[in-house]
Amino acid sequence: MSKIVLAIGGNAIIKEGQKGTIEEQKNNINESCEPVLGLIEQGHTVVITHGNGPQVGNTLIKGQMAESVVPVYPLDVCDAETQGNLGYLIQQAFRNKMVERNINKTVATVVTQAVVSKDDPAFDAPTKPIGPFYSKEEMEEILKNEKLTFIEDSGRGYRRVVASPKPIKIVEKDAIEALLEKDITVITAGGGGIPVVENNGMLEGTEAVIDKDFASALLAAEINADYLFILTGVEQVAIHFGTPQQQNLLEMTADDAIRYMEEGHFPKGSMGPKIEAAILFLQKGGKNVIITSIDKLQDAIEGKTGTRIVMSSEAADETSNLVTMS
């Protein structure tokens, strides 16, 4: 059977319009479990990664509001905190669902660090939105007391942005592989991993948030996964998105994806990073990437929907659908 890295977006855990209560997050995670369990029941080795954008933003807000009472945590520690919180919720949900379905498997969360370069240009140009949306007036009030960077986000208001450097190494890779060899379902690289820089072999946290799709692609390559699933808010990748000429894509090659990116079809603030992550995984030896929404996962597995990205058309011909993988 195949080894699959499956990346779930943070917005699938806190949906648009929700407050983000633990009960809401539990319900959303329970819904997300079902299609993934199908892969596990088929005998595939599944590694689950997840985003944490809404959660880490909320953690920062709590710290800021309580700073007169308790110390404010740096961003890397907030990343670690949300990794632990979400890992707990996800592993408990999967464990309970497995008991219900008589799947005899252990689920474990690995709090994961990802090495980034201290010279990454992202540190000079913050781009990663975190936390809630603010009105212009609210943003201006915050800026009176805080040296932060905000951007206007798709007409929905202003959001804080932080550096988002590219991950270059997953620190806990060997531990993850050891668990997989024991047939344990692993939840890891939450929120893209905790960003750390390495100096003379020593690790130190840094103020940043890593894109979870890049971290998932790097992890998938480092553990020699066969497939990378990127689950997002849309059923299929499209070109000419939102226009009368919109064309949904069932399959494309890495060269197609690069060409479409150059033509401007995949903006940096939405589908762009997912496509770049897909290309990264394929260039490092991966076979297939599938991008779809979590509710369409099973249909995407069967080739009915979703967008499959392969290195070349020859690779597509040589690779069978996931339902027949062995």
pLDDT digits (tens, 9 = 90+) for 78-114: 999 999 999 999 999 999 999 999 999 999 999 999 9
pLDDT for position 313? 65
Same domain, 226 and 261: yes
Going 278 to 234 to 8 to 150, the CA torsion angle's sign is positive
| Residue 71 falls inside a structural domain | no
Domain boundary among 136, 162, 188: 162
Same domain, 143 and 8: no
pLDDT for position 315? 52
Q: Is 128 a catalytic residue?
A: yes
| Residue 14 falls inside a structural domain | yes
pLDDT for position 55? 86
CB 227 within 8 A of CB 287: yes
| Residue 238 falls inside a structural domain | yes
Q: Is 166 a catalytic residue?
A: no
Q: Is 62 a catalytic residue?
A: no
Same domain, 205 and 272: yes
> Choosing from 3, 11, 15, 173, which is the catalytic residue?
11
Same domain, 223 and 268: yes
Q: Is 26 a catalytic residue?
A: no
Domains contained in the chain, number: 2
> Choosing from 10, 53, 131, 286, which is the catalytic residue?
10
CA atoms within 13 A on the CB side of 8: 28
CB 222 within 8 A of CB 107: no
| Residue 8 falls inside a structural domain | yes
Quote the tokens at residue 184. 């344990």
Q: Phi/psi class of residue 277: alpha, beta or left (left: φ > 0; alpha: ψ in -120 to 50)? A: alpha
Q: Is 287 a catalytic residue?
A: no
Angle between helices 272-283 and 212-222 (to 10 degrees): 10
pLDDT tens-digit profile, the chain (326 residues): 789 999 998 778 888 788 889 999 999 999 888 889 989 998 999 999 998 888 888 888 888 788 889 998 999 999 999 999 999 999 999 999 999 999 999 999 999 999 999 999 999 998 887 777 789 998 999 898 888 889 987 777 898 888 999 999 999 999 999 999 999 999 999 999 999 999 999 999 998 999 999 999 999 999 999 999 999 888 999 999 989 999 999 999 999 999 999 999 998 878 999 999 999 999 999 989 999 998 888 888 888 999 999 998 655 454 444 444 44
Same domain, 112 and 204: yes
Same domain, 287 and 183: yes
> Choosing from 192, 212, 288, 306, which is the catalytic residue?
212
Cα(310)–Cα(308) distance, integer angstroms: 7
Cα(78)–Cα(58) distance, integer angstroms: 10
> Choosing from 274, 286, 287, 288, which is the catalytic residue?
274
CB 129 within 8 A of CB 160: yes
> Choosing from 9, 63, 97, 128, which is the catalytic residue?
128
| Residue 46 falls inside a structural domain | yes
The contacts of residue 14 (CB under 8 Å, 6+ apart) are 20, 24, 25, 28, 54, 55
What domain range includes position 153?
Answer: 128-162
Same domain, 177 and 315: yes
pLDDT tens-place string over residues 193-202: 999 999 999 9
Same domain, 103 and 236: yes
Same domain, 221 and 101: yes
